[in-house]
Every structure is written in structure tokens, then in C-alpha cells.
Amino acid sequence: MGEYPVGSQLPVETDLARAMGVSRTTLREAVGRLVARGLLSREQGRGTYVLGRSAGQRISMLLEANLSISDMIREMGMTPTTTDVSAAIEVASEEVALGLGRPGLDQVLLVRRTRAADGQPAVYSCDYLVVEPGLPLDAASYRGSIYELLGGFYGLPVASGHALLRAGMADESLARQLGVQPGDLTLVLTQVHQLSDGRIVMFSYVHLRNDMFSVYVRRGSPDAGRELAAPGRTEPTSLQPGPSTEVVS
């Protein structure tokens, strides 16, 4: 928090906004995000205080923010690492083809990875990429950020997506990947990833450890939601609840 050490109280909103040169609305939004990430605490009648990162702190996921898992881990002050990376051309299932907006698509590149936070397994993902000429097919290329790789390949950033969040349960294979017990609850995020021009380039099943992630969503009035929606845009049919992806160790 820069000049505000752990345990200190932030100035009142008006003074802090003036000191930072931003509007009170912008400041309130930023403080809300930090509260959601567990970095600040609002105490009724007392004020807002700076929190330290304690052992066992959960990773905060804001559903309205299209951040990579690695970015989320870094924002909590932890170090992300990637292990057990594999990449292979596979037959596209009907659900994956629809998720990629390409019914009848024959093949996809399936990238499987485990992401850890400070060395502790936190996420297991299955990412299905549209196979294009020149797209890297080797596992080593996917040890870093897939968003950065796709941004460089297409010349446009991965800027948006649609996501479905549901409860899941770890089978024996997934439990080994995440370092949990079979039968433990997980969070399963099914997501479509789009470039800034609207093209869909990746479809993912992301399995999150339930004991390591807290998921937040910013709520607003129905009218505000309608104003933000693109005219004529509908949600992808592939994001309807369905069976979880097979996890192979």
C-alpha cells in the first residue's frame, strides 16, 4: 500500500481522493477491489484499515475482471508457477466446438496445466485453442501466460470472455493434480476467451481449489447491466451447465 503500512488506517475518502488526484467514485471503486482481495478491511464506524497477507490467505477472483490466473496470484503477493504442462492435438468435442463458436470443428490444441501459488497447487486447467498455421504446438511454449502468447500471435489482446461458475468435486486424478483428497469440493470455471475484435480463440475448463479461492462479483442495477450489454449479443450456448471435462494425469 505504499506509504500506508499494514495495520494503519486510511484517510477519509474525501482527503484520500484529493491526495491521489482522483474522483471519489474512482477511489471508492479501487478501495472496493482491494477489500475484495483481502488487502483492506472496512470496519463499520471506524474506517478502512490496511491488512497484511497472512498464511493461508485465499486468492480473490473478481468475475468482472478478465485477469489471468497468474495475474490473480501475483496481485495477492504470491508467486505463480506452472507445472505438469502438456499440449496435444485432439478431436474437438461438440461442446468445445460450440464454445469456440465453430460448430463442426474437427481438431483443437488441448493444453493441460497445473498452476501453483507459492508452490502450492491451486488450479488445474484444460485450455482448448483454435489451431492456426504457425501457432506453437509444443508444451514448453505454454509454461508462461497463454494470454500473452495469444496476444503476440494474433497481434491483439485477449480482452473479454463469458464465464460459467459452478461447484465441482475432485475425482482421484484431479485430486492428485491439486493436492487435495478425492471428493473434496472444487470450483469449476467454464470460459470463452475473445480477442479485442471479438474473435473467440480459446475455450477453457478451469478447476479451482475451493479452499484457496474466493470469488466475487460486482452487482449493479438491471438498467446498468442492460446499458453495458452489446446490442444483439447473446450468451454462448456452450456455457450451459453440463458434465465436467475429463481430467487425465
Residue type, 201: V
- All structural domains of the chain with their residue ranges: 1-52, 59-217
176-224, pLDDT tens digit by residue?
A: 999 999 999 999 999 999 999 999 999 999 999 988 887 777 666 665 5
Is the whole model's pTM more than 0.75, yes or no?
A: no
SS3 helix, strand, coil % of the chain, rounded to 5? 25, 35, 40
Concatenating the DSSP letter of every residue in 119-162 gives TEEEEEEEEEEE--TT---SGGGGSS-HHHHHHHHHSS-EEEEE
Q: What is the pLDDT of residue 237?
A: 37
Fold assignment, 59-217: Chorismate lyase (3.40.1410)
The residues of the chain scoring below 50 in pLDDT are 1, 55-56, 225-249
Q: Which fold has domain 1-52?
A: Arc Repressor Mutant, subunit A (1.10.10)
The pLDDT of residue 52 is 59
